[in-house]
Structure 1
């Protein structure tokens, strides 16, 4: 899938949908970053005073992780499992 590319751009006071985009060396200031679970590439960006919102599949995945994480006796072990999965990608 070809991602919409943004390079060395500045985004201020905007709502940015991150799905199916790549951002390299961009600056986000006072923005709302919305992620719904689509492809995304972030490299060397600066994020200042931004809110993050999860939508669609990303929101459901986040709710799942929270629910399953609350079942672990040792929350740090759960986070270690999540980190291991992420590092394999």
Structure 2
């Protein structure tokens, strides 16, 4: 893992897996997350950037989209709710329901 602090990224592709970015500026960048360890993004600014989910991350998005369009809309909406909810506000997991979140 690499930590970037107060750095400006301009006109470049940035692979964010397993990195930490704090108070960085991203200008006209292609931000790529491929499904590895999640990056930590803290107080950054993004201007005119393209965000790309590649590899496993892209397949996960396709799976959730397939759930939504294939009749499991409530389950897909649960994923969206989990995305919007801070970790400390999520309800406890029920192990009898299998993997969640």
TM-score category, normalised to shorter length: 0.7 to 0.9
User: Which has the larger share of strand?
Assistant: 1
Runs (4+) off by over 2 Å: 71-75, 83-89
RCO greater where, 1 or 2, for CA within 8 Å and sep 6 or more? 1
Unaligned 5+ runs, structure 2: 88-101
> SS at 2:21's partner residue?
strand
Summarize the alignment of residues 1-89 of structure 1 with structure 2, pairs less than 5 Å apart: 3-39=1-37, 40-72=39-71, 78-79=76-77, 81-86=78-83, 87=85, 89=87
Greater Rg by CA? 2
TM-score by length of 2: 0.73
TM-score by length of 1: 0.82
Unaligned 5+ runs, structure 1: none
